Amino acid sequence: MVLAEFIVTFREFFEIALLVGIMLAYLYKTGNRKYEQYVYFGVVLAALASLGAALAFEQFAGGFEANEELFEGITLVLAAVFVSWLILWMFKQQKLVEKIHQRLQVHIDEGQKAGLVLFAFIAVFREGIEIILFLAGIQLNTGAVNVFGALLGIVAALGLGYAFFSRLVHLNLKKFFNVTSFVLVLLAAGLLGQGVHELQEAKVLPTYIEHVYNITPPLNPDGSYPPLHEKGAIGSVLKGIVGYDTGPSEFQLLAHVGYLGLMYYLYWRIQAKKTETST
């Protein structure tokens, strides 16, 4: 599975590149390049903290082998909730560049070097946690994380970020984040649905209807998986991206569809509120 990992790291690392780039560009344009070191320091600290969080999560996960379904269910649900909160936060942002500039200027005017470090740290660490949760969810959902796909996404994101700030590429950021957020919502819906399934396996949630429908195709005569099987060429891709399941339970299906409906409603409310405040 390459596409899901690519989408996650591409979107999140471009967001990191954008936030850090906005900070450094502002310091450069205002003649405050001497403060760049504090931004870099905050970024490095955030990278180290994210790596530490990933290692801690791995260690923590290893202690739940006896109750694997419960751990996976809780992790997947929390990942979907946290990622959704960050997506909605991004939807709510208006004049993000101006807000970053204002915050930087306050720290500069008051000589708050620690404030600059913390500001950069929080901006990057938040994205780092989102990446960890998403990739952990993909691993639990599909069984593995494709490192090549993740690295490809990172390289593409940093390359696009460089091209954007070098004015080699004109990018409509609003459309970019709307499209990528839509894809991330589909990913999160899949994580939530799979999380509910694991909680049912752990007997935390009841199961009244084991399969609302069952469209699982039989194996090929040679024992291989047909394309639309969850482990087939197409099904495995869809499972990693949108939580494709050929035989969902009632709560699993309800969580998946209900989540998509709720996120659409909240997005519509946020956009309507933006329109009201801008008129």
**3-class SS string, 225-237:** CCCCCCCCHHHHH
Query: How far apart are the C-alpha atoms of 271 and 155, rounded to whole Å?
Result: 32
Other residues' Cβ atoms within 10 Å of the Cβ of residue 264: 12
3-state helix, strand, coil in the chain (%, to 5): 75, 0, 25
Angle, helices 68-92/173-201, rounded to nearest 10 degrees = 160
Phi, psi of 53 (to 5 degrees): -65, -40
CA atoms within 13 A on the CB side of 138: 30
Other residues' Cβ atoms within 10 Å of the Cβ of residue 255: 24
What pLDDT, on the 0 to 100 scale, is given for residue 44? 95
What pLDDT, on the 0 to 100 scale, is given for residue 51? 92
What pLDDT, on the 0 to 100 scale, is given for residue 29? 87
What pLDDT, on the 0 to 100 scale, is given for residue 66? 52
Angle, alpha carbons 92-94-97 (nearest 5°): 125
Please, what are the averages of pLDDT over each run of 10 residues along the chain (279 residues)? 82 90 89 90 94 84 67 87 85 75 84 86 90 83 81 93 84 82 88 91 91 89 86 80 86 94 91 74
